[in-house]
Amino acid sequence: MKLAFYLVAAAMVAVALALLLVPLLREGRRHGRPRSVFALALGIALLLPLGAGALYLHIGTPVALDGVPVNKPLDFQQALTELHAHLKQQPNDAQAWSLLAQATAAMKRPDEARDAWDHVLKIVPDDVTAMVGWAEADSMARSDHLVDGRALDLLHHALVLQPDSQRGLWLLGISQFQHAQYAEAAATWRKLQPLLQPDSSVAKAVAEQIANADARAGIKPGAEPAPAASQGAALKVEVSLAPALKDKLQPGDQLYVYARAVSGPPMPLAVAKLAADALPTTVTLTDAMAMTPELKLSSVTRVVVAARISHSGQPIAQPGDLEGSAGIVDTDRKTPIAIAIDKIH
């Protein structure tokens, strides 16, 4: 590379000198001053190459003669290793955890993606993307691929915060379909339809799923969908922690918000589980949160709505847990239900 450059540069200088000096020498002979002109020409012949070289060293790029180093593309696994190293140094970097979650999800490693989303939620409890991401990763990690349990709780909470979350609506509809709640699934996906690009492949897929859910629910094509009230009960619960008990909150505490029948089995008809550090928060209890298809909110007319912070993380009350109750409410209630957690079990 260097030799070729020097040869080309020398040739260009020689041509420049020839074009300049030959006419100059001829002009000197014509006017009878060949010696003085020769001296001038000799000076130019010496100074021009030196000046050109000095100018190139000053404003040129000599290092380019060694060739431009080609950076090797960053290996994906190497990038993950560096990301893990970064998170060891800065474990509270929610954006980095989110990037790790998306990367491991793309690599079909849902367990790792779920763990990374969990870290995001510990740092930013109301991160809708993390809630939906956790739910999706959890369903992929399960052998039955069900969207259930905490995943379903997170989806409901995410849609309270961001009702137009496309991925959230899609996954909630899947969960309802999996639980044979076909009318509810169709209704959820109908909320998704206006948010999609018309005639896109996604919009067509959603339309097909709605038709499938309608068929399973016995709704004839073209018929008006059932009104929202007939698609199951939904109770919006606003939960807060009494200031006097804030010092009782411990790392890792879990919040359970639930509704149980006024009389009958103690099993909740609907229950949501969240990290306790998300308080204050709002949860919507629905039929989709039922522990069994037969026992759900819409199966009764009145329920007891309560909330509990579990230090052990278990749903069964333990001494020292923090509790609060809104008392008995109607399952067709439309206004928010306020609960202040203000007692110690």
Average pLDDT over residues 226-255: 81
Residue found under tokens 């492949």: 201
Q: Are strands 302-310 and 337-341 parallel, antiparallel or unpaired?
A: unpaired
**In the chain, where do the E strands start and end?**
234-241, 254-261, 270-275, 281-286, 302-310, 322-330, 337-341, 343-344
pLDDT score of 289 = 74
pLDDT score of 56 = 56
**Phi-psi region at 222: left, alpha or beta (left = phi > 0; alpha = psi -120 to 50):** left
The confidence band for 230, taking pLDDT boundaries of 50, 70 and 90, is very low
The answer to whether domain 232-344 has CATH 2.60.40.1120 is yes
Average pLDDT over residues 223-246: 75
- Number of CB atoms found within 10 A of residue 12's CB: 11
**Better pLDDT: 144 or 304:** 304
Q: How much is the mean pLDDT over the chain?
A: 79
pLDDT score of 122 = 94
pLDDT at position 132 over 80? yes
pLDDT at position 50 over 60? no
The three-class DSSP label of residue 140 is helix
pLDDT score of 9 = 57
SS3 labels along 60-106: CCHHHHHCCCCCCCCCHHHHHHHHHHHHHHCCCCHHHHHHHHHHHHH
- Domain ranges, ordered by start, for the chain: 2-63, 94-217, 232-344
Question: What predicted TM-score, i.e. pTM, was given to this entire model?
Answer: 0.49
Sheet holding 234-241, edge to edge: 281-286, 234-241, 337-341
Residue found under tokens 């349990």: 149
For residues 274 and 258, what is the distance between their CA atoms, to the nearest angstrom? 11
Instruction: Look up residue 166 and give its two tokens.
Output: 């496309």
Tell which residue, 162, 135, 137, 130, has the closest CA to residue 288: 135
For the domain with range 94-217, which CATH number is right: 1.25.40.10, 3.40.50.620, 1.20.1300.10, 3.90.230.10?
1.25.40.10
pLDDT score of 189 = 92
pLDDT score of 229 = 42
Q: Describe the crossing of helices 94-106 and 76-89 by its angle, rounded to 10 degrees.
A: 150
For residues 302 and 323, what is the distance between their CA atoms, to the nearest angstrom? 20
pLDDT at position 59 over 60? no
Average pLDDT over residues 162-182: 89
Name the amino acid, one letter, at 304: V
pLDDT score of 134 = 95
Q: Is 326 within 8 Å of 339 (Cβ atoms)? A: yes
Question: What does each C-alpha distance from 66 to 52, 62, 105, 223 come to in angstroms?
Answer: 20, 8, 42, 75
For residues 39 and 21, what is the distance between their CA atoms, to the nearest angstrom? 11
